[in-house]
Amino acid sequence: MGMTMTQKIFAAHAGLASVSAGQLVEAKLDLVHGNDVTTPVAIKVLEDNGITQVFDKDKIAIILDHYTPCKDIKAAQLCKTARDFSRKHNITHFYDVGEVGVEHAFIPEKGLVVPGDLTIGADSHTCTYGALGAFSTGVGSTDMAAGMATGLNWFKVPSAIKVTITGKFKPFVSGKDVMLHLIGLIGVDGALYKSLEFTGPSIKELTMDDRFTIANMAIEAGAKNGIFPVDEQTLAYLKGRTDRKPVIYEADPDAEYEREVVINLDELDSTVAMPYLPGNAKKVQEVKGIKIDQVVIGSCTNGRISDMHAAAQILKGRKVAHGVRCIVLPATQEIIKEMIEDGSYMDLLNAGCAISTPTCGPCLGGHMGCMCEGEVCVSTTNRNFVGRMGHVESKVILASPAVAAASAVKGELADPKDL
């Protein structure tokens, strides 16, 4: 029986010739990471158990991105705990305010993951690095602690769903629309415990940023990971970021898939997810016109440079509607620099956007844009659960950067092609 890409990565990291779906394996980790919310809990697990050594100071990343710059005294204490631990163990990849970015944009940007890697992170959107042809998945703090201590963790080898991409994007449609459409199709537990293996003739139509967005939201379909084949775009992305050699895996022709889903980009329209599940997908044309109070453009899902450009392209020369707050959060410092250099930063400022330093901030109702009862936000983030961005009676509509920017201009949920 052939193996999927994900299964091949597991076999290689478990020291086995082959693995099959359902098999429990112990695998070596190429990177273990955590953030300011999850790392302090992992540190407590280590301390409570008298564990004083980490397996490899170069293969641990600690990234202070959720409540930073610290929103309150308790958040400052969490950051201090993570900072002190990183100093004590001389953690190579510790990143603090001024250098840090939103982890799942920042880690690939720094070249910390290469194709063929197997990584875990104490954050559910760790599945993002599947865009690079790596296996990566989110875990909890105890798994992070175990990974930091041993460089190993246990996994159940997942079965797979094959997602074949065909066709070409229509204007204003992007990776976010692909993923919201897919989650709508298979449901928020449609890929539970499984890998989403993306393939097909139109993978080349997807930019690296599209792939990061798509892999990022694999968890929103319940998936263990989402993974893309490695191509010239992947290798070009890695250039100048790392000296490590990529290991390229391809699915066997006779790999087994539980299900195949085809997404034809020719037929895909701008798509949103209505409250309160990422699977409540609708074409924006079906639900446009809903009055909104806030727009958020950013996050580990859509805070990358092409997301900023998609928003700036629409907002340039226009104004954010009166009565709407448009908060833009570029995901890394490098992205901010690029925006300043190419002018998109000024385009957004002139349109009336508030532009933040990199932080997860409002995505999880942390800070920088929490909502009160009755407010509605169009957001490029990844979850629209009850109370996700503040009050339990506030609402989040998930959308692409283009739809979010168009909505900011119109003051209501809008399709960019109607502007």
Binding residues for another protein (CB under 8 A): 24, 37-38, 40-41, 44-45, 49, 51-53, 66-67, 71-72, 74-75, 78, 122-124, 126, 138-143, 145-146, 149-150, 152, 154, 188-189, 192-193, 219, 222, 224, 277, 364-366, 370, 383, 385-388, 390, 392
Residue 223 or 409 with smaller CB distance to another protein: 223
Q: Shortest gap between Cβ of 282 and another protein (angstroms)?
A: 18
CA separation for the pair 136, 215 (Å, rounded):
10
List Cα–Cα distances, 363 to 112, 202, 370, 390, in angstroms: 24, 30, 9, 10
CA separation for the pair 235, 246 (Å, rounded):
8
Q: Shortest gap between Cβ of 62 and another protein (angstroms)?
A: 15
SS3 411: coil
Buried b (16+ CB within 10 A) or exposed e, 111-142: bbbbbbbbbbbbbbbbbbbbbbbbbbbbbbbe
Q: Shortest gap between Cβ of 71 and another protein (angstroms)?
A: 7
Q: Shortest gap between Cβ of 277 and another protein (angstroms)?
A: 6
Spell out the long-range contacts of 320-324 with Cβ–Cβ below 8 A and sequence spacing 24 or more. 320/295, 320/351, 320/352, 320/353, 320/408, 320/409, 321/408, 321/409, 321/410, 321/411, 322/411, 323/293, 323/411, 324/292, 324/293, 324/294, 324/295, 324/408, 324/411
CA separation for the pair 161, 147 (Å, rounded):
27
CA separation for the pair 35, 141 (Å, rounded):
10
Q: Shortest gap between Cβ of 352 and another protein (angstroms)?
A: 28
Q: Shortest gap between Cβ of 319 and another protein (angstroms)?
A: 32
Give the pairing type, strands 281-283 and 271-273. Answer: antiparallel
Q: Shortest gap between Cβ of 35 and another protein (angstroms)?
A: 10
Q: Provide the 10 A C-beta neighbour count for residue 239.
A: 8
Q: Shortest gap between Cβ of 263 and another protein (angstroms)?
A: 22
Residue 187 or 411 with smaller CB distance to another protein: 187
Residue 156 or 245 with smaller CB distance to another protein: 156
| Encoded amino acid at 149, one letter | A
Residue 23 or 233 with smaller CB distance to another protein: 23
Tokens of 336: 């901010």
Residue 262 or 386 with smaller CB distance to another protein: 386
CA angle 230, 233, 238 (to 5 degrees): 85
Residue 189 or 267 with smaller CB distance to another protein: 189
How much is the CA Rg of the chain, to the nearest whole Å? 20
Q: Shortest gap between Cβ of 272 and another protein (angstroms)?
A: 19
Angle in degrees, 0-180, between the axes of helices 344-351 and 333-342, rounded to the nearest 10: 90
CA separation for the pair 276, 393 (Å, rounded):
11
Residue 33 or 162 with smaller CB distance to another protein: 33
Residue 360 or 402 with smaller CB distance to another protein: 360
Residue 124 or 174 with smaller CB distance to another protein: 124
Place of tokens 């800070």: 367
